[in-house]
Amino acid sequence: MVRLVVSTARRAGLDPVVVVVPPEAEGIRQAVDHDVTFAVQERPLGSGDALARARSAAGRAETVVVLSGDVPLVRSETIQAMVESHGETGACVTLLSAVVDDPGALGRVLRDDRGRVTAVAEVDGAPPEVLAVREINGGVYAFHGPWLWDNVGRLAPSPSGEVYLTDLVALAVSQGRPVEALQVEDPEELLGVNDRVHLARAEGILRRRIRQRWLLAGVTMPDPATVYIDPSARLGRDTVIMPNTHILGDTRIGDRCEIGPNAIVRDSRIGDDCRIVSSVVEGSRLEEAVDVGPFSHIRPGSLLQRGVHVGNFAEVKKSRLGPNTKMGHFSYVGDADVGENVNIGAGTVTCNFDGVRKHRTRIGDGAFIGSDSMLVAPVTIGEGASTGAGSVVIQDVPPGAVVVGVPARLLRPRREEEP
């Protein structure tokens, strides 16, 4: 969540970005990229104390924006609107709020009879008239910087010993300083995440937003609710994402592709006019007009060049398949360089591991690999060469030659068969 909040702050143009963390926060430090400043809150003494820890790192900014790490759904556009409103009204404090049907345990925004914000009240021990208020505080603020740093140290601890950031609102009002609340149109932006139920709901909202953005950008999804697209993925126009498909990590998918149903594509580059059905593609690149599946696995480090066909129940690992090569079904190609227009028969295996080291297989252009061939690496199959069905190839095959048997032996050069 912190990573998402930091990303939102950047998109909103906030700089510098300071993240307040507890001492044991190595996981947060690793999750957030290094273009931020970290401040440490030694003891969990509340949000007000956490903000005070950021003082030295925040510099002399005229406006200080505070985002809560457990409110990950606020949009960068909303933050920008809050900052603009803060400047236009000359407020000392501007906060985001929303009117909701069920405020639950969220803090309430209190107003006087003229509609002016007077305080943010916590619900613990609050009287019925406070609990009846439906306007909730979102935990996102813009402060006048010099006033903030002069006053954050004046906050008194609550009975629990914590210092509440929300007390700054009442403090500003008591000093006669203006406080504004900007109500968001979509209350979901201010959803706080306090347990795994909230986390699942927030993730669902984020994924719905992502899908909506790509639908409006020209991507088709027949059943959007069953599609998962990570924020870092990019999709081309007129691409179709079928049900039960996951587009994960740093993935780029070209135009006019069809991905799914039941496909997983992770950290990969997919060219235009590709089709991936009920298969997994990881850390690989597919050039234009490649089709994969169903039920195949393209493992990391693979390159499938233009027009390659990988059929059902096949696996490719750390290999290059040249243009228009066909690998129909039930085959494994690992640590291999395969030329163009190669036919790889059913059940072919590149035996790349000798128990200690991995070895490469090289197959020349136009070769024909018969069904159930075992190519024991390191081995080279020359251009236009053929292996008979069930061959176990343990030696290099010359260009144009035909080998058969176990172990494979030279039957005759192909050119000798021609009249």
Residue that is written with structure tokens 């007129």 in the block: 238
- Give dist(CA 200, CA 350) in Å, integer: 43
Which of 198, 297, 309, 329 is flagged as catalytic? Answer: 329
- Tell me the CA distances in angstroms from 325 to 13, 199, 201, 320, one per residue in order: 48, 45, 45, 10
Assigned token pair, 192 = 């706080």
Residue (of 12, 239, 316, 324) closest to 140 by Cα position: 12
- Give dist(CA 70, CA 138) in Å, integer: 10
Assigned token pair, 262 = 């039941």
Q: Could you tell me the maximum CA-CA distance found in the chain, to the nearest angstrom?
A: 104
Residues paired with residue 5 on neighbouring β-strands, in sequence order: none
Local structure of residue 289 (DSSP, 8 states): T
* Catalytic residue status for 86: no
Q: Residues near 84 by Cβ (< 8 Å), separated by ≥ 6? A: none
Name the H helices within 142-185: 145-151, 167-174
Backbone angles phi, psi at 335, to 5 degrees: 55, 55
Residues paired with residue 228 on neighbouring β-strands, in sequence order: 246
Name the residues annotated as catalytic. Answer: 329
